[in-house]
Amino acid sequence: MFESIQGEGPLIGVPMMFVRTNRCNLRCKWCDSTYTFQGGQEYMLEYVLDKVSKSRSEWVCFTGGEPLLQRDAPEFVRGAVKAGRKVLIETGGSISIADFVRIENTVIDMDIKTPSSEEQESLDRKNLELLRSTDYVKFVISDDRDFDYAVDFLGNLGKDTQVVFQPAWGSSLKELTERVLKNNLNVRVLPQLHKLIWGEIPGV
């Protein structure tokens, strides 16, 4: 396994090119990209990699939908890295990340689905064993039950992993932050920065 991106983790605020795929195997109740469930436009892998190679951004965010559903996903990530880019892979955690943790210059952002998503049974728990020190897990917190679920999950994780708590859109960032501080949790509380900047529009 490669861990060549020392000290990386949540990359909020870092300029990057987004490659957003359509299709998802989950239906989280608070999903903010339901427009990816259908439609979209098919592109050849070579076309997308050409766009990546011409991008001025050091980072590429490979997201969805669920990007790991794409049959060319490993080849895309390897091609982007070969083009000199670092790749942040955002995944819902239900599909194996085994092929991707072997690729250098990548960071995995893996969701642990909370009860409010109604997809909390979807996690492929083998993925937890594959996470590297540069990867992180993310819990989207909508209510008290989600918060308690996340705390219990981390208490039974048995592994030192970087952790992000993110308030579901419409939930209070301040209240979540204060609760994390009150409970002395070693997690990062991060908003959906793209929504704060551009609002709820597709494609960002």
Closest to 162 measured CA to CA, from 181, 139, 196: 139
In CATH, 16-23+33-198 is 3.20.20.70: yes
Q: Which of 143, 186, 24, 6 is nearest to 86 (CA)?
A: 6
pLDDT in tens, 115-168: 999 999 999 999 999 999 999 999 999 999 999 999 999 999 888 899 999 999
pTM: predicted TM-score of the whole model, two decimal places: 0.88
pLDDT digits (tens, 9 = 90+) for 150-161: 999 999 988 889
Sequence-ordered list of residues with C-beta below 8 angstroms from that of 154, at least 6 positions apart, any chain: 163, 185, 187
